[in-house]
Amino acid sequence: MQAYLEAKRTVDDRALNRRVLDQFVAALTARNGPVSVVELGAGVGTMLVRLATWGCLPERVSYRLVDRDAESITRARDLVPDELENAGYTVRWRDDRAAESATLVATRDSTGEFTGGNCRERDETPGPLEYTDAVPATATTSATASASATTTPTTLTITFTTADAFEIEAQADAVIAAAFLDLIDVPAALESIETLLEPGGVLYAPITFDGGTGFVPTDPLDRDIERCYHHHMDEIRDGGSSRAGRELLTTLRRRDWETLATGGSNWVVRPACGDHSGADEAGSPGSPGSHTTHYPASEQLVLEHILHTIDDALTAVPAVMTPFSTAEQEQWHDQRRTALESGMFGFVAHNLDVLARCGPTVSGQS
Ligand SMILES: C[S@@+](CC[C@H](N)C(=O)[O-])C[C@H]1O[C@@H](n2cnc3c(N)ncnc32)[C@H](O)[C@@H]1O
C-alpha cells in the first residue's frame, strides 16, 4: 500500500485542479499569523511534500498528518524529511525522532535558494517521462506564485499521528482530505470536520472519486466491469461511495457550507509519449539488465495496484450480480495485464477537487 501511495504521487501531480489549488493557497495566505493544517487520511505524506515543494504554504505552518494505518505514518516519518531536504528545506527533529510525538521542523530561507521548483517551474520543464500536455504553464495563478515568491523564511512544524481521523482532537485553519472522502461516509465525515475547523476554516478535498472508471484500449466488457466495481464500493466495501465527489457537493450545500471552488481532477495514466524504449523509474534510460517500464516514474506500479484492486473487488461481488462469467472476467484481466506489461494499457478515473468553507454561504456560490 505504501509503495502505491508513493507511486501515485506523479499521477496526482498531473491531475490536481490548479484553479482549486490556487484558491486553497489564497485561503491559507489570507489567514492571519501562523496557519494550522490537519490532513486526514494523509497516507505517506505526499500532499504535504507537494505543497511544500511547490511553494503553496504560507510562512509559518503547523501541519499534522493523521492516518489510521501505522505503516503509512511510519513511512511518512521517513519520506517527508528526505523529500523536504531534497526541496531545499533544512530539517531537524525537535524531540527524540523515535518518539510517537516527535515534531519535525523544516525551514527554507527563500524561493531563490530552494531546488525543488514550484508549479510553474515544474510545468515549464517537463522531465523526459513527463507529459508535456499534463498541465498548462498558465495553470499556475497569482496565489500560488505569490505564496512561493516570499522572501521570508518558511517554517513548517510537522507532527505525525496514527489515529482514526474522526477520533482526534484538533482545531485547524484548514483540513485536507485527499483521495479520502470516497472511502468513508461523507455526511458523517463533514459533521466531524466541522468540529475540527476554526471559524472560517476551509476543507480542501482533492482527488475525490466521482463515479468514472475507464480503460484503454476499450473492451466490450468494460461497462459491466465498471458497474460491478462501483457496486463493490457502494454496497460491499466497508464505507465509501463511488459517487463521493457529487455527494460531497450535495452535503456541503445541505450543511450550509460555502463551496469556494470545485473542478475535475481526472486521473489519466498512460504510457510515456512515444517512448517504448524502456527507462528506469528515475526517468533515465534503462541499462542492460535494469528494470524497465513503459510508464512515467513509478506509474506502472499504480496500474498494477488498480488491476489487483479491481480483481479483488469483482471476486467479492456475488455471481448473481455479475453479467459476465468467471472465465470472461479472467480473460478480461489477462488481456489487461498483458497490455500493461507491453506498455499498451491506459487507465482513466473521474475525480473532483473541492474547496469549501464551513459556515453559511455569503457569496451566493455553491
Ligand atoms: C487512498 S489513500 C490516500 C492517502 C493520501 N491522502 C494520498 O492521497 O496519497 C486513503 C488513506 O486513508 C486512510 N484512512 C482510511 N480510513 C481512515 C480513517 N477512518 N482514519 C484515518 N485514516 C483513514 C488509509 O489508511 C489511507 O492511507
**Which residues are CB-neighbours of 228 under 8 A, at least 6 positions away?**
313, 314, 317, 321, 322
pLDDT band at 291 (very low <50, low <70, confident <90, very high): low
Distance in Å, CA 330 to ligand 1 centroid = 29
Q: What pLDDT score does 266 carry?
A: 98
**Which residue, by CA, sits nearest to atom 11 of ligand 1?**
41
Name the nearest CA neighbour of 165 among 74, 38, 79, 50: 38
Q: Where are the domains of the chain?
A: 2-212+239-266+350-357
Atom of ligand 1 nearest to the CA of 69: 25
pLDDT band at 273 (very low <50, low <70, confident <90, very high): confident
Between 320 and 121, the more confident residue is 320
pLDDT band at 32 (very low <50, low <70, confident <90, very high): confident
**Percent of residues, the chain, with pLDDT higher than 90:** 77
Atom of ligand 1 nearest to the CA of 180: 10
Q: What pLDDT score does 184 carry?
A: 97
Name the nearest CA neighbour of 197 among 166, 165, 172: 172
Lowest-pLDDT range of 152-156, 188-192, 247-251, 271-275: 271-275
Q: Please state, in angstroms and rounded to a whole number, the distance separating the CA atoms of residues 299 and 53.
A: 20
Distance in Å, CA 193 to ligand 1 centroid = 15
**Per-residue pLDDT tens for 47-95?**
999 999 999 999 999 999 999 999 999 999 999 999 999 999 999 999 8
Lowest-pLDDT range of 139-153, 251-265, 276-290: 276-290
What is the overall mean pLDDT for the chain? Answer: 86
**Per-residue pLDDT tens for 102-117?**
999 999 986 533 333 3
- In this predicted structure, the answer to whether residue 128 has a pLDDT above a threshold of 90 is no
Q: Please state, in angstroms and rounded to a whole number, the distance separating the CA atoms of residues 339 and 345.
A: 5
Distance in Å, CA 72 to ligand 1 centroid = 9
**Which residues are CB-neighbours of 159 under 8 A, at least 6 positions away?**
62, 63, 64, 65, 101, 102, 103, 104
Q: What pLDDT score does 125 carry?
A: 32
Residue of 37, 48, 65, 68 best suited for mutating to test ligand 1, as the one with most atoms within 8 Å of CB: 68
Q: Which run of H or E residues covers position 53?
A: helix 46-53
**Per-residue pLDDT tens for 131-155?**
333 333 333 444 454 454 546 789 9
User: Which architecture, in CATH terms, is 2-212+239-266+350-357?
Assistant: 3-Layer(aba) Sandwich (3.40)
**Per-residue pLDDT tens for 178-194?**
999 999 999 999 999 99
- In this predicted structure, the answer to whether residue 283 has a pLDDT above a threshold of 70 is no
